Amino acid sequence: MARTRIFSGVKPTGHLTLGNYLGALRRWADVDQHRADALFCVVDLHALTVAHDPARVQRLTRQAATLLLATGLDPERCTVFVQSQVDEHARLSYLMECTASDGEMRRMIQYKEKKAQGGAEVRLSLLTYPALMAADILAYGTDEVPVGEDQAQHVELTRDLAVRFNQRYGPVFVVPRATRPPVAARVKDLQEPTAKMGKSHARTAGIVYLLDEAETVRKKVARAVTDAHPEVVYDPVGRPGVANLLEILAACTGGEPGALAGAYDSYGALKKDVAEAVVELLRPVRERHAELAADPGYVDGVLRGGAERARAVARPRVDAAYRAVGLLPPG
């Protein structure tokens, strides 16, 4: 019986954070690469949907790929690669654009939010990038796409496009399903505890990055927003700052936020323990990243090998899609 196939990716639009690690990367390394045929991708083409510095995109792409390996992804167990190095993503994206409707694209939340903000010109690629995301998933015959709430809409669109294509042209694509793996913590910004800890945020004081030095982590946690109440209580709605700290501590130590709250009679003690737990959690990641960054040839080799394996999986299906719609695939 064929193993379940998983596809997921990270976008190189900022430095990876503690939220990325606790929300997804740790599970990829500890669980997903062992139980499935898993492909993990740095989706650099998606970084071009907004104004960007080309050199920065390259740096962040390499850093993200190196961090995926540093968090424990094993190229002998899973496929780690960069999206733009596998042409099948761009080839299939156009077919997905030809399958989707204008209305479907305009209902996607990221485009609607950006359009509503006004100001800078909105690139056409921001409207159409859900078609590229669908291509990312469908090219590999993906069964499962682990996603958070903010990406579930895109997987639903991908399912719709797969079904529509298959009905029009024949059974080419596997219809994937979104999975909501148990998340250790939905980590919030330490300064804005009602917002997620996002890697693209302009203000960084409340964001713990995977490569932050230990003292930087301690300072950010020490300055985390709490509230005016003196007692430490786990109340995500009424007291989100304290709840965020307790959830981070629970995720790092394996505890339960409500139970942990009872062990503290001051915010100072809680913040100290949270900071040390985060420092120790990230220490091996930072150390392994330093080793890998010092050996760029190894990382390049992993990415080349990953791209070759990904291409071998994707090309037959993408070629079949081209034939199905009446195009001649490459000879």
Residue 196: active-site member: yes
Report the C-alpha dihedral over residues 170, 145, 308, 326, rounded to 10 degrees: 20
How open is the CA angle 132-133-139, to the nearest 5 degrees?
85
Strand ordering across the sheet containing 5-10: 79-82, 37-42, 5-10, 144-146, 177-179
Active-site residue identified among 188, 196, 220, 271: 196
In the set 11, 199, 220, 271, the catalytic residue is 199
**Residues in Cβ contact with 247 at an 8 Å cutoff, skipping those fewer than 6 apart:** 185, 186, 187, 236, 257
CB 319 within 8 A of CB 290: no
Q: Which of 114, 115, 219, 272 is catalytic?
A: 114
Could you tell me if 208 and 15 are in contact, meaning their C-beta atoms sit under 8 angstroms apart? no
d(CA 246, CA 185): 10
Q: How far apart are CA 317 and CA 96, in angstroms?
A: 13
Q: How far is CA 282 from CA 67, 183, 276, in A?
A: 11, 17, 10
Rounded-to-integer distance, Cα 115 and Cα 45, Å = 20
- Give me the residues paired with residue 10 across strands: 42
On whether the CB atoms of residues 89 and 48 are closer than 8 A, the answer is no
Question: Catalytic residue at 112?
Answer: no
Active site residue 219: no
Residues marked active site are found at 114, 196, 199
